[in-house]
Amino acid sequence: MNVTATDQLPVVVIGAGPAGLAAAAHLVDRGLEALVFEAGAQAGAAVRAWSHVRLFSAWGEVIDPVAEKLLAPTGWVKPDADTYPTGGDWAAAYLQPLADVLGHRVRLNVRVTGVSRAGRDRVVDVDRDEQPFTVHIQHDDGREERVLARAVIDASGTWSTPSPAGGDGLPALGERAAAERISYRVPDLKDPAVRARYAGRRTAVIGSGASAFTALASLAALAKSRDGGDTRATWILRRSISGSTFGGGSADQLPARGALGLAAKAAVDEGYADAVTGFRTDAIERDGEHLVLVAEDGRRLDPVDEVIVLTGFRPDLTFLGELRLGLDERLQAPVELAPLIDPNQHSCGTVYPHGVKELAHPEEGVYLVGMKSYGRAPSFLALTGYEQVRSVVAAISGDRESAERVELVLPETGVCGGAGLFDQPTDTSTDGGGCCATPAALQIGIGSPAASGGC
């Protein structure tokens, strides 16, 4: 191919979630062609997977301004900016309409299996930067295809790669063999089949963030219900319980966030969950019809029926192996971004807006955005993701001045709003706005937002 024609090629966006669809909207707004490849059968497939969980952000903080501009002529009605959507609401009332407007640009049931430079593996230097990207895709019928691109924006997120139970970051011994009894998501206990799986049984919940809080509170509510029977939980923490374990409680700036922590604390105080601290899982063994968790120090817990592992998520980098990425050795985030999002130092509300400068890699023209850009750091601001794609698309279009300009101003409080497990916050007067687009059930930490940390 004549390299002078590279600029006429589309920009490939991987993932039709919030960041990916926003990136496509910005590309269209600048007159650039976009191709969005989504492995799922619907736009926002990952968001739909946690449709039962309410966000910690209000509608006004999870809609991209350029996407809104694209939607306006269609008669789309923006939801009340001060209310809090569930994942299902977000997908149905925003992500799906946006995908519909983007139309043929969004290709569903298409999985990206590899990205490289045309005719160049990661070792070859000669004329490398002049070559287009080659994106290998596989359709759901098994058909394979290669697509050339001028740039690649990877917004595939981390949902598909949850972290395992093992305290060393690897699957515990026996974890794979017990897979049918282990879940890596907060259960939707309104689903009769899911409810039957946990009702009257003992469940181990591994994790220390908002996801674990949500699971513990949900299981406690099940235990109190008429069909709950002897529902019990064993809450497994790798660290000890301190005064900050459950968040700010009634003194929290955000009543809903504090309420979620208090609900988890109540589950323990009322005897519906037993907390086990300093437990780093080494093995999951079968004991008849039950499972026994074994720690690195040899401790063995009482048998359980089910295990819910909520220890975070991590990026899938396997299909990017032929690209020259600059990633932090700990977080697997871009090296310039990593110090800004280190969960040991920051919560989602203390990461300042950033763009192409922090997201750049040695391989020019490829960008990881959205939750994928944060690597293993857990919480993420929807508005920060939208600022990322605005800056990246500006750079791709050649508008460096706009790309390097920060256009997002976050609230001075830097806090995250939202209702998490509950229907609505009891008081929104203290909401600082603009925060985590991750649901309560997914925030494992930053503090451990993964765990909910700052979000």
**Ranges 225-229, 379-383, 418-422, most confident:** 225-229
Q: Around Cβ 26, how many Cβ atoms within 10 Å?
A: 28
The 10s digit of each residue's pLDDT in 30-63 is: 999 999 999 999 999 999 999 998 887 889 999 9
In angstroms, the CA 369 to CA 280 distance is 32
The yes-or-no verdict on residue 439 having pLDDT over 70 is: no
Q: What is the pLDDT of residue 6?
A: 82
Model confidence at 208, in pLDDT bands (50, 70, 90)? confident
The 10s digit of each residue's pLDDT in 334-351 is: 999 999 988 777 665 567
Domains of the chain from N-terminus onward: 3-160+313-442 (3.50.50.60), 179-309 (3.50.50.60)
Q: What is the pLDDT of residue 426?
A: 39
The 10s digit of each residue's pLDDT in 295-312 is: 999 999 999 999 999 999
Q: What is the pLDDT of residue 453?
A: 28
The 10s digit of each residue's pLDDT in 375-415 is: 998 878 889 999 999 999 999 999 999 999 988 876 543 33
In angstroms, the CA 413 to CA 415 distance is 5
* 171 half-sphere exposure, CB direction, 13 A CA radius: 12
Model confidence at 79, in pLDDT bands (50, 70, 90)? very high
More confident residue, 438 or 397: 397
Q: How far is CA 19 from CA 184, 195, 306, 322, 364, in A?
A: 23, 32, 34, 24, 20
Residue 143, exposed/middle/buried by CB under 10 A (0-12, 13-18, 19+)? Answer: exposed
The 10s digit of each residue's pLDDT in 8-17 is: 999 999 999 9
Any alpha helices (H) in 164-307, and if so which ranges?
Answer: 192-198, 210-224, 255-269
The yes-or-no verdict on residue 431 having pLDDT over 80 is: no
Residue with tokens 């997201």: 359
The yes-or-no verdict on residue 237 having pLDDT over 50 is: yes
Model confidence at 244, in pLDDT bands (50, 70, 90)? low
Would you say 445 and 312 are in contact if contact means Cβ atoms under 8 Å apart?
A: yes
Q: What is the pLDDT of residue 346?
A: 63
The candidate with the shortest Cα–Cα distance to 19, out of 386, 294, 442, is 386
Please tell me the total number of residues recorded for the chain in this structure. Answer: 455
The 10s digit of each residue's pLDDT in 213-223 is: 989 999 999 99
The candidate with the shortest Cα–Cα distance to 421, out of 284, 196, 260, is 260
Report the share of the chain in percent with pLDDT over 70. Answer: 84
* 239 half-sphere exposure, CB direction, 13 A CA radius: 14
Quote the mean pLDDT of the chain.
Answer: 87
The 10s digit of each residue's pLDDT in 111-131 is: 999 999 999 999 999 999 999
Q: Buried b vs exposed e over 301-324: b needs ≥16 C-beta within 10 Å?
A: bebbbbbbbbbbbbbebebbebbe
Q: What is the pLDDT of residue 241?
A: 80
Q: Which two tokens stand for residue 325?
A: 């990425």
Residue 15, exposed/middle/buried by CB under 10 A (0-12, 13-18, 19+)? Answer: buried
CA angle 375, 109, 156 (to 5 degrees): 10
Model confidence at 2, in pLDDT bands (50, 70, 90)? very low
pLDDT mean over 277-288 = 96
Q: What is the pLDDT of residue 240?
A: 82
Q: How far is CA 209 from the centre of its chain?
A: 14
Q: What is the pLDDT of residue 416?
A: 40
Q: What is the dihedral sign for C-alpha 155, 160, 164, 170?
A: negative
Q: Which two tokens stand for residue 280?
A: 């780093």
Q: How far is CA 6 from the centre of its chain?
A: 32
Report the share of the chain in percent with pLDDT over 90. Answer: 74
pLDDT mean over 220-249 = 86
Q: What is the pLDDT of residue 264?
A: 87
Least confident of 284-293, 346-355, 378-387, 422-431: 422-431
Model confidence at 455, in pLDDT bands (50, 70, 90)? very low
pLDDT mean over 104-117 = 98
pTM: 0.88
Phi, psi angle pair for 35, to nearest 5°: -130, 120
The 10s digit of each residue's pLDDT in 136-163 is: 999 999 999 999 999 999 999 999 999 9
Q: What is the pLDDT of residue 378?
A: 80
Percent helix, percent strand, percent coil in the chain, to nearest 5: 30, 20, 50
